[in-house]
Amino acid sequence: MTEISVINYATLVNETNQGKVQKITPPEGGSSFHAFKATLLVDLADAFYQARNRGDFDKPSMAYQKDLADRLYNITLAFSKVGIDAFIDEITGYQEVREKDALQKLLNLYVEELFQPWQRRFPEEFYKEIFRLKGWEYTGGSQRPHLVGKITNEFIYNLLPKDVMQEVRERKKNNEKLHQWLTSQAGASHLEKQIASTTTLMRASDSWEEFEKLFNRSFNRNIREQLSLF
């Protein structure tokens, strides 16, 4: 590859990472292709799925778009599950075989030694979607139904490593939040990814029951049996 080729690729990668869709023609020849930031796929899939739910693709002439919406939705479901699993493997370096000190290494990665100052970890969109699917009026503020805490535990915190959450819950005092014991690099990052994945599934749902089905399919769980009181 020539020096000019390297510069061209660097520019394209930089612009692509900024969210721009780029048509790329390899300097060495070959077919052109379009590149874009990977997270744009989630936004695109969400837009198509919401349009499908609104009935925008019900006309016979829109059959291709309707089929594409279903395909994009299935892709993002697969990504949300595989992405979390890959993230854990990436930050811990563990596969199926654990070393003797694997648990301690995992806790060191995820759990802070000291209680950390509060930072916003859960965006308002997360709570708005819960309220929408439960049919509650959303007024904002920190006073929420007690059930919201149970939902947060089951769909967010319980998807983090079990040993980590056991340690965090043992350390947590009454006036503290669970996420204030998570490390910013691994713990909080995993938390934010789980929140983002769950919020995306809620946004794609028209009812709480539909969300539960999507969540169970995505994360291979059976929340319904555990949360019959929900």
Q: What length is written for the chain? A: 230
- Does an H or E element contain 211, and which? helix 208-219
pLDDT means per 10 residues in the chain (230 residues)?
38 52 67 67 76 86 86 72 59 53 81 82 94 93 88 94 90 86 88 93 94 90 53
Q: What is the pLDDT of residue 98?
A: 47
pLDDT of residue 56: 87
What pLDDT is stored for residue 48 in this prediction?
81
Q: Running DSSP on this structure, what letter comes out for residue 24?
A: E
Residues pairing with 22 in the sheet = 35
DSSP 111: B
- 36, 40, 56, 37: which is closest to 48 by C-alpha? 56
Angle, vertex CA 59, rays to CA 56 and CA 204, nearest 5:
30
- How many CB atoms are located within 10 Å of the residue 10 CB? 10
pLDDT at 1: 36
Read off the amino acid at residue 168.
V
Cβ neighbors of 17 (< 8 A, separation 6 or more) are: 37
